[in-house]
Structure 1
Amino acid sequence: MNQEYLRAIPKVDELLREPSVQALTEKYPARTVTDAVRAVLEDLRREILAGGREPPPDKAALCAAVEAVARRDTLPSLRSVINGTGVVLHTNMGRACLSERAAEAAKNVARSYNTLEYDVEGGCRGHRCAHVEGLLTRLIGAESALVVNNNAAAVLLILSAMAEGGEVIVSRGELVEIGGSFRVPEIMETCGARLREVGTTNKTRLGDYEKAIGPDTRALMKVHTSNFRVVGFTQAVPPAELAALGRSRGLPVIEDLGSGSLLNLARLGLRDEPTVQESVAAGIDVVCFSGDKLLGGPQAGIIVGREEVLSLLREHPLYRAVRVDKMTLAALEATLRAYVEETAETELPTLAMLAQSPETLRMRAQRLCALAREAGVDAEVVPEEDQVGGGSVPTQTLPSFAVAVTPGHDGVDALETAMRLRERPIIGRVAHDRYLLDARTLREDEFSCIVDALRECLR
C-alpha cells in the first residue's frame, strides 16, 4: 500500500504548474516557492514510508501546505511578539522595550552617516562614548563613564585591566552565575586573575576581606546578587565600608550591580535594589551595570567611576573588542535624556510597566476580557503575581491581573501552541488548565490582534 501511495505523490514540476502555486510567486521569491514544494512533498514521502499516513491529500491541500511553508520561511527569525506573560524584563524576549524616542534615535543613525566618532565643533576625530559620558556623569555623580556591549563584557574588561596576574577578593556569598552559565569565577580565570573567596555563603564581615589582603591582591570586589537572595541569618559588608578598606590599603574597589537603577524603585514595590548613585557616593572606584534591565534602555554594559581607573580601561586592547555600535549609543543617549528631563517613569516602557497600579491593570484586563467574550471566547479576569524579570530581581513579584481563557476540546496546551506559532507570536502562560494573558505587559493596541487570534485558534 505504501508503494501505491508513493506513486500517487505528484512530482515537483507538476505541483509547481498548479495555478494556485504559480500565484504564490507574486508574493514570494520563486526559489522560496520551489523549496517549499520540495519540502512539502518530502515530508509527505517520509510520512508514507513511516506508515503513518493515509492516502496523499488532494492537490488543493498540498498547495495550501506549500503556501504555509513559504510564508513561514519568509518570516524574519527575529521578530516582534506580544508578551502576555507579565514578565517585564523577559530575557528570552529581549528584556527592556525601547522608548519611542530611543527607537527613533537608533533608526535615524542607522539610516544615515552620523557623528559616531566625529567632533563637529573641532572638525576632527571624536570619541564614541562622548555622546553619553556627560549624561552619565551628570546623572550619577561619577568622574567618568564608559560603555561596552553588555555587563558581562564590562566585568571582563574591568578585571582584565585591573587584576591580571593577581588576586581579586570576593565574598563567597556573591559568586553569582550571571546567566547562560556565565559565572564570576570563570570570568576571573579568563582574565588571568585569581579568585580569593572570603566569608561564608550567608555571612561575610569586613575583617574577612582585611585578613585576605596580601602582596598579590589587585582589587576588592562586590557583586550585587540581583538574580538570587540569601535569606535568614545573613551579613554582608556595605559598599561604604568596603570602599574605606580599599582606600586604607591602596586597593581599588569594584562593584558589579548587575541590573543597576538610577531611581529608587522601593515605591514601585521593588525592594533591596541599590541605585548606581548610592554606590558611587559610597566611594566605590568603579561600578558596572546593565543598560537593558532596570535602566530601561538598549543592551549595554555601563561603567562609571574614577577617571584614573576608567582611563586604564579605555587604553586596554580588549576595549575595542567590546565597544558598542552607533545604534546602541543613540538609543542609550535618548534613554538617558529621559532621566535628565525627569520623564523616565512615563516615557520608558520598563518603568511605566512597573509603575502600573493593580487597579489600572484590573481595568485593562477587564477591557480585554470583554472583547474576548464578545468574540465568543470563554474568559474571565483573575488576580496574578508578576515576576519582574528572569535575571533581574527574579525573587520579587508585583500584584497584577490577567485574562484567563478556558480552552476548547483540544486543551490548553494546543491553544498555547497555536497562539505561539502565529505570524506574530502571542506568548502567554498556562496555569490550572487555563491560558493566561497578563495585563501588565500587554498594550491596548494589541487587543484586537489577541482577540482575533483567540477566535481563530479556538474555532
Structure 2
Amino acid sequence: MNKNKYKQIPSVSRLLEDNCIQSIQAPQNVKLKVIREHLQEIRSNISTRTVIYSDIVENIKNTITTQINSLRRCINATGVILHTGLGRAPISPHILAKVQQNLASYINLEIDCNSGKRSHRDEHTKTILTSLTGAEDATVVNNNAAAVLITISAIAKGKEIIVSCGQLVEIGGSFRIPEVIEQSGAKLRIVGCTNKTHLCDYEAAINENTAAILYVHTSNYKIVGFSSTPNTYELAQLAKKHNLPLIEDAGSGLINDFDIPLLASEPIIKKSITSGVDIVTFSGDKLLGGCQAGIIVGKEKFITRIRNNPLMRALRVDKFTTLILQQTLQNNQQSSLTTNPILEMLTRTPLQTQKMSQNISATLQKKSHYHITVENFPSYTGSGALPATQIESFAVAIRTSSRSLAKVAQKLRLNDPALFTVIKNDTLYIAPRSLLKEECKEVIAILGKLL
C-alpha cells in the first residue's frame, strides 16, 4: 500500500515546472526549499497521508506565499478588540495618509525649522502630551515595558523600589515586573499580601535606601473578594511625606474620560497626574488607539533624568512612531469616539453587533450548505485591558458535519486579506464587534467565496 503511495508523490522538478508554483513571485531557492521540505514531510507520514497532487500544490503555494509575504493585512473577527497577535489597535486611515505624505521624503525629526539647529524628537509629542495629561514633561520609548525599565533605571538604580505583592504582574511573552526591575539595576522590595496591601505596609518598608514607590495597574487580571490596596492619591501623599517619587504603570493608556461605563475601572492618565503621581507610563497601541510605544509623562525633573539615561539611545522611537503618535494624540484632543476605532468598537451596543451578524448570516444562508445562525458570543477588550470583563455581543455561528472546521478556519486565514475567526464547541464564530465598519461587506465576500 505504502509503495503505491510513494509512487504518487510528485518529483521536485515536476512541482517546480507547475504553472501554479511558477506564477508565484518568489526566488527559485525559496520554492525549492519549500518543495523539498513538504515532500519530505509527506514521506515521513506516508502511512497516514492521502497523496493528492492538487492538495500538494496548494499547500506548497500557501507556504511559499506565507514565507515571502509573511506580514499582510488581516481582518479580526475574533471579538477580541485589542488582539496582540493581530497588532492591537488598527491605525486610522487618515493618520496613515499623513504618514505617507510626510515620510515619503525627509522630515524634521531632530531639527528646529525656526532656528535650523539640532532639536530633540520628543518636541513633536511633548507639548500635546503635557496638554492632554496635565503633566510637566513627557518622553517616548518603544513600548511600555521599556518605559517601566528606563524609568526605574533612571530613578532607582542601585536602590530599593517598593511594590505591592498583588501587583507583581506578568505581561505577555512571560515578561514579569520583578525581572524588569532586576534588569533596571534596582532592588525589589515587596510589601503586603496577594489580596491585601495596606498603606502602613508601604510606610513600614521605607528606609534610607528607598528610591521610589511603584504602583502597577493589574491590567492582565483582577483580584476580587477580600482584597484592597491603597489608591494612587493615598500613595502620592505617602510618597510626598517621605520625599519619594511615586511611579505608576498605568498600562492601557486611557488619556481622556469619555464617560464610557465599560472603562470605569481603567486608570485615566490625567487623573493620575492630578492625584499626585510623579511619573506615569502607558502604552500607545491599546486604548489610545495608536502604534506601539511606551509613553512616560510626569514631573520635569524626573523626565529629564529619564531622557538623559544611557538606555534612551537603545529604546528611543523612530520617525514612523513619532509621526503616528503625534497624529493619534491630536485625535484624542478632539474627545470624539469617531476618531478612535478601538473606542468605537467598545461602545457598539449588543443590538448593533446582532444586526451586523444578521447581515452576514442572511447573505451566507442563501449560498452555503453550512448550518448558519446568529448567537450570543461575548467579546473582550484584549491586551490586558478590562481583565475578565465580557462584553455582551452577538456573532455568526457556523456548523457542519461534513468538513473540518479547523481546515475551514485555516483556509480563511490563508486568504488575502487573512480572516481570523474563533472555533469553540465545534462551532466557527465570526464576531463582528472587532471588525472595522467597512469590513462587513468584505467578510461576506470572503465567506461567500470560501464557504
TM-score, scaled relative to structure 2: 0.91
In the alignment, is residue 429 of structure 1 matched against residue 422 of structure 2? yes
- Offset of 1:430 from its aligned partner? 1.7
1:68-101 deviation digits (Å, cap 9, x = unpaired): 5544443x11212111111111111111111123
In the alignment, is residue 346 of structure 1 matched against residue 338 of structure 2? yes
Q: Could you tell me how far apart the structure 2 residues matched to 1:50 and 1:175 are?
A: 46
Q: Which residue in 1 is equivalent to 2:408? A: 415
Equivalent of 1:364, from 356, 360, 379? 356
Q: Which residue in 1 is equivalent to 2:367? A: 375
Q: Choose 1 or 2 for highest CA Rg.
A: 1
In the alignment, is residue 81 of structure 1 matched against residue 74 of structure 2? yes
- Offset of 1:25 from its aligned partner? 4.6
CA gap 1:11/1:213 in 2 versus in 1, 3 angstroms:
closer
State the aligned residue count: 450
Larger displacement relative to structure 2 (116-125 or 358-367): 358-367
3-state SS in 2 of match to 1:397: coil
Q: Could you tell me how far apart the structure 2 residues matched to 1:24 and 1:413 are?
A: 25
Letter in 2 for 1:90: H
- Offset of 1:106 from its aligned partner? 2.9
- Offset of 1:47 from its aligned partner? 3.2
CA gap 1:128/1:444 in 2 versus in 1, 3 angstroms:
closer
In the alignment, is residue 441 of structure 1 matched against residue 434 of structure 2? yes
Equivalent of 1:311, from 287, 294, 304? 304
3-state SS in 2 of match to 1:405: strand
- Offset of 1:408 from its aligned partner? 4.5
Q: Which residue in 2 is equivalent to 1:401? A: 394
Aligned-residue sequence identity (percent) comes to: 38
CA gap 1:57/1:271 in 2 versus in 1, 3 angstroms:
closer
CA gap 1:39/1:24 in 2 versus in 1, 3 angstroms:
closer
8 Å Cα contact 2:164/2:197 also seen in 1: yes
Unaligned runs of at least 5 residues, structure 1: none
- Offset of 1:398 from its aligned partner? 1.3
Letter in 2 for 1:47: I
3-state SS in 1 of match to 2:391: strand
- Offset of 1:384 from its aligned partner? 2.0
- Offset of 1:10 from its aligned partner? 6.2
Equivalent of 1:36, from 25, 31, 35? 31
1:391-423 deviation digits (Å, cap 9, x = unpaired): 222221211111111225124333223222333
Equivalent of 2:154, from 147, 158, 161? 161
- Offset of 1:450 from its aligned partner? 2.9
1:27-63 deviation digits (Å, cap 9, x = unpaired): 524x33x6435643664466357543899767x8876
1:178-207 deviation digits (Å, cap 9, x = unpaired): 221111111111111111111111111111
Q: Could you tell me how far apart the structure 2 residues matched to 1:186 and 1:67 are?
A: 42
For 1:168-247, list aligned pairs within 5 A: 168-247=161-240
Q: Could you tell me how far apart the structure 2 residues matched to 1:64 and 1:223 are?
A: 49
Q: Could you tell me how far apart the structure 1 residues matched to 2:231 and 2:50 are?
A: 73
Q: Which residue in 2 is equivalent to 1:47? A: 42
Letter in 2 for 1:341: Q
CA gap 1:259/1:69 in 2 versus in 1, 3 angstroms:
closer
TM-score, scaled relative to structure 1: 0.90
Q: Could you tell me how far apart the structure 2 residues matched to 1:38 and 1:291 are?
A: 39
CA gap 1:192/1:379 in 2 versus in 1, 3 angstroms:
same
8 Å Cα contact 2:258/2:335 also seen in 1: no
Unaligned runs of at least 5 residues, structure 2: none
3-state SS in 1 of match to 2:379: strand
Q: Could you tell me how far apart the structure 2 residues matched to 1:4 and 1:267 are?
A: 65
- Offset of 1:12 from its aligned partner? 4.5
